[in-house]
Structure 1
Amino acid sequence: MKKLFLLLALVSFSLQAQYKISGEMNPAGKYTWAILYKIEGARQVFVKSGKIADGKFSLELPINAKPGAYRVNYKTEGNGFVDFLFNKEDVAFTFDPEKAEKTIRFSKSTENKLYQEYIHTVSTQQFKTDSLQIAYLKNPLAKTASLYETQLAKITALQKQYLAKSEGKMVYDFIKATNRYNNPVIAKDPQEYLKSINNHFFDTIDFNNQTLYNSAFLVDRIIDYVFYMNYSDDPTKQRELYDTAVKRVLEKAKTQTFKKDIIEYLITQFVNASNIDFADYVLNSYYKKLPANIQSTEFTVNYLEKTVVAVGRIAPEISWSENGKNYKLSTINDASNYVLVFWSTGCGHCLREIPQLYAFTKDIKKSKVIAFAMENNDKEWKKMKQTFVGWHHVLGLKKWENPIARTYQIYATPTYIVLDKNKKIIAKPNTLEELKKVITYLE
């Protein structure tokens, strides 16, 4: 009987022994679901989800949940998430859902409270250090250089203090890696200052550290380095900087799997920045040179599908007949630029905007309109196209299922795409007013 009671007690304990992740939004907002992920490399692994009620949510982790970096996502689109460390303890926090990273405050969790305290304390002192450096570059006084050395000693002492506080905790790895490089002696000119920060950017970051690897830390630092530490207004110089930065980052990645994840992430970022040329370069120069068993065919296919009509791409082919003559988009040569507009006679917005576009383009000399009508039949289209004399008219039957419309990823009408004489996509204005500005600029 005694053994039975002991067994029941152990079972009862195992059922109740869970860790609670609690969040409260202030203001509450209208968010309904919280989705919990564990971060592993550059990936997010789904853990569980729960409802948000009046801005509050609570998610439970089992007693055997793995320590590491976790993320709660509460938006279906855009940035809407909070990151935290989990190391076998309850975690509770409040935050403003519209600016989560800046407002999150932890009320439970030794690990997260210590890290947040560290970030706040050291960043304040780092700001003072940077201010002294900037002041010296503007006006190189010996007093400023002396104050810089004193300030540097403060930061060094703080770093040692927080490393000692975090000894034996998961947050120790993050505190060690967050320590930013500062010149031991104040820099004499801006070039020296920027060069030293760039050269020493990864000094305290161990890419072999599994705790850092399984968090957003490494990815965030890589993005900071590639996109913010290596910037130039000159396009040619910018490409050189990106090339050097990407190469250096990938040399830091110690495993092929992590290298793959980083390349995919960087390619996605370049696509989001509308830098298709460099995204292609990274894909061909780095991704396709990974071992075949590491590459993801799905990623490559999705990338090509997503960017087929991106700015910088050559527009996919369109063939049509007009007044007994056959045309191809690739070979048409009667203008310096082209406005490819996808519209429909059954679209209210189109019936308002297309006549306005026609009136606007009457006096335009360098640009020609190619109007692709997405229709279920040609009845209304035959009537309406007669009112837009001078345009090229293309009929696309099956409307939304039209293969050309699907290739061009048309989800709304009217959709405007501007091409140069070589049919390279140079702009995708969202509105008629934006389109007018682009056309005016090209004239």
Structure 2
Amino acid sequence: MKKIVLFTSLLMCISYSAQFKISIEAPASFAPKEVYLYTLNGSKDVLNTREIKKGNSWQLQVKQPYTGMMKLYFPENNATINFISENKDVKLIFATQNNKITNVEYLDEANYTMNQIQDIQQKKEIILPALYQIKEYYKTDAGFGTALTQEIERLSTNATDATKFPFINFYNTNYRKYIEKKAGANAVTHEEIIDFINKSTDMLETSSLLRPILVSYLNIGPSTNIIADVDRLLAAVNTETPRGQTVMSELIEIFDTYGMADLKNKYLTEATNLKCTINDRLAQTISTNKNTEIGALFPNYTFKNASNTTAKTLHDIKADKKVVVFWASTCSHCEAELPALIEKYNAIKGQKGEIIALSLDNDKSAYESKVKMLPWINDTELKGWNSSYSDTYNIHATPTYFILDVNNKIIAKPDHAADVISYLKLK
């Protein structure tokens, strides 16, 4: 405590000098006025600040040091721009068409460099294999063959020097080692990943690499003893530390996303039983799962522009049973499953039941086209996976179903529409 008191003025000075600003310029025709700025913690966006447009631009002040991935989100039209921070000023300008962002130009050196690297990386992963195949049909001394050879050489080398950018260097080095798929490369081991997670700086949490690296860890070798592998990882990272708890949270959500219910429940129980102080990341995971488990009171939702009802909230709807469906017009599984519920909707109403469908769409015309065919209560925020209920109800995939009783308690979490029909004993 003495150090904190003695060096308060120095810390304030350091904090102030570490501030940086983000300058955004938009066309005059771009309608949204508000922008949100998010930092990253593992795979979760964390709201840092928000700002209202002045003229055709935004100036956002970041008050605390931050190095890593960042995101701009324009809630009025559900648009996003991803970029990086090297804890220095960021400047970008974007073009639009029909109020949608079509091209982003990064004017600061770090983001310009990162954009170049990622452009080449994308071409290496998607285009380079095809170029190798095409080259087999052209002689190297032919004009097109020579051009192919030159492009293959360009994409095969790492010409952009990123050593002076700590975050870019961290991201690309570890992406290539732990995530990128390369023929002939030595397979990464459990021990290497554990060592990397233990020794990494805070850039691991802000890089977006943590979750895919954990997926890589789970995919190493045969899956005959995955619990032993996970237990070894959690023991090594120590779940009484912030890093260990973030890893635990990510693993629980990975198991949830991939439908590995037994593993999810095992480690969620372990997380709940921890006796130490819990960090915000793990606390959120525990809370969200607790609020959506069978027997819990389903969190209420205030409708934005609901159809087929005059109710203001989900809890206001009077029904002996409520089937809550999370879906999207672009979801092929929804396309396959929802007709079965349409067919049984009158029977559900006959049981004094109701269906409430909350869409994770972001395209208004696509949503309105589909929703015309759905006879039940429908609503959407038109924010896609940025919708508020995505986190509130722990939604990882569409369609997702909940069945509530007359008191809005969760009584079932069916996997498919057929399971909903079976649970309600509809023939």
TM-score of the superposed pair, with normalisation by structure 1: 0.48
TM-score of the superposed pair, with normalisation by structure 2: 0.50
Which of the pair has more CA radius of gyration? 1
Say which structure, 1 or 2, has more relative contact order (CA 8 Å, 6+ apart).
Answer: 2
